[in-house]
Chain A
Amino acid sequence: QAQLVQSGAEVKKPGASVKVSCKASGYMFTTYAITWVRQAPGHGLEWMARISGYNGNANYAQKFQDRVTLTIDTSTTTAYMELRSLRSDDTAVYYCARAQGSGWFDPWGQGTLVTVSS
């Protein structure tokens, strides 16, 4: 059964960077892409970026193009999302999810709360 397990909560100061991990198991990692979605407190879901589990090619939402980098490590079946130059409005729960078929997302990781505060 496919499962994604994310790293734990982080507290960062404005201007810092954060790197969230997403460990995949129960399926062939290189066959699917991993996508990242965030949710600010009390708000909806916002797509950030996705990365191929096969060749590491990534696509980014225009809003995050300059501040986000996605990477994968196929040897450990882990995907990573790094967000730089953090601001207070980056405070959110960050989710990874497996991209199925043409692009629906299942399953999802449990989420990682990133708090940006001075």
Chain B
Amino acid sequence: DIQLTQSPSSLSASVGDRITITCRASQDIRNSLAWYQQKPGKAPNLLLYAASRLESGVPSRFSGSGSGTDYTLTISSLQPEDFATYYCQQYFNPPPYTFGQGTRLEIK
């Protein structure tokens, strides 16, 4: 099975900061990667798919990039509502699908 490793596992930042979260796959997943945001007590919310395609309605401060085994999620200017946990998910040749372990983004 394909494993996903996110880093960092937690991150403290301030409103207005630019942050990057990394997701590394155990093999080439050919851009078959999605990113989700989850707030406490809520279901995950899709942000990006196909590594870099922004889901409709998601603010443009969110962006994704990468190829092969290495992918990143960038938030260009943190807003108060962005403090949450972020997960990557691969869908290359499923099943199974797998998720990264999550990155908790906290206010500094």
Contacts and interface: CB of A to CB of B under 8 A. Distances in A.
A111 B43 contact: yes
Interface stretch (B10-18, B76-84, B92-100): B92-100
Contacts of B99: 37, 44-47
Contacts of B38: 45
A101 B49 contact: yes
Contacts of A108: 43-45
A106 B55 CA distance: 10
Contacts of A37: 99
B35 to A, nearest CB: 9
B89 interface: yes
B46 A106 contact: yes
Nearest to A60: B95
From B94, B98, B101, residue with most partner A Cβ within 10 Å = B94
A102 interface: yes
Contacts of A62: 96
A105 B102 contact: no
Interface residues of A, number: 25
Interface string A32-66: 00010100000011110010000000011110000
A47 B98 contact: yes
Contacts of B44: 45, 95, 97, 105, 108
Nearest to A93: B43
B8 to A, nearest CB: 14
Contacts of B102: 44-45
B95 A104 contact: no
From B50, B89, B97, residue with most partner A Cβ within 10 Å = B97
Contact of B34 (A47, A60, A61, A104): A104
Interface of A: 35, 37, 44-47, 50, 59-62, 95, 97, 100-111
Interface of B: 32, 34, 36, 38, 43-46, 49-50, 55, 87, 89, 91, 94-102
Given A103-B94, A104-B46, 12 more contacts: A35-B97, A44-B99, A44-B102, A45-B99, A45-B102, A47-B95, A47-B99, A50-B95, A102-B32, A104-B50, A104-B91, A106-B46
